Amino acid sequence: MHVPAGAEQSLRTIWEALRIGSKAFKLAARRFNTAQLRGFVEDNFLDDMIAAEALLIEPHSRQKSKTLALNAAYYLGGASQPERRLVFELFRNAYRVRSATVHGEEPKAADMEMNGVPMSFIQFKDAVEDRLRSVFQKMVNQNQTAAAIDWRPITLGTEP
């Protein structure tokens, strides 16, 4: 395999993240990879959502949709309120679309939009996948793959 010049270190970093990664990180990486091989967009989307849940939801979390959206919003959106809102709405809607798909229902068109702009299922899946890729990248870059992330300081801040 030909590796582009300058990509060697990035590949080493990714392989190291996978080597030391937590069980949840490894599951998420495997499902994200499997999603890319799927022939049906619904299967691709469901694998992506399994990956998102493994990365962004603590085990046994009660309010999965809200927790997924909140953790993603603060992790990716940082201090930017508009960006956090955008990410929150995307992942909250993604969980709704995931639930409808899993239960054999047609997702609501209102759940497949971003910033009020309607999207096709494929466009929506691509938007979620793009943000999920950013989660992976940030976790790898910040050496956060070996153990589960404590979401409380991220979502609640460090001030009491």
Does the pLDDT of residue 2 top 90, yes or no?
no
More confident residue, 150 or 158: 150
Q: How far is 13 from 32, CA to CA, in rounded Å?
A: 18
CA dihedral 13→14→19→20, nearest 10 degrees, is 70
Chain centroid to CA 129: 7
In a domain, 122, yes or no: yes
Quick one: pLDDT at residue 88? 95
In a domain, 86, yes or no: yes
In a domain, 58, yes or no: yes
In a domain, 150, yes or no: no
Residue among 133, 115, 114, 134 nearest 124 (CA): 114
In a domain, 131, yes or no: yes
Quick one: pLDDT at residue 159? 52
More confident residue, 92 or 151: 92
In a domain, 12, yes or no: no
Quick one: pLDDT at residue 160? 45
Q: Looking at the whole model, is its pTM more than 0.75? A: yes
Are 88 and 99 contacting, i.e. CB atoms less than 8 angstroms apart?
A: no
Mean pLDDT of the chain: 88
Quick one: pLDDT at residue 61? 78
In a domain, 46, yes or no: yes
Does the pLDDT of residue 85 top 60, yes or no?
yes
In a domain, 154, yes or no: no
Does the pLDDT of residue 1 top 70, yes or no?
no
Quick one: pLDDT at residue 13? 73
Domain enclosing residue 25, as ranges: 18-145
Residue among 67, 59, 55 nearest 145 (CA): 55
Q: How many structural domains does the chain have?
A: 1
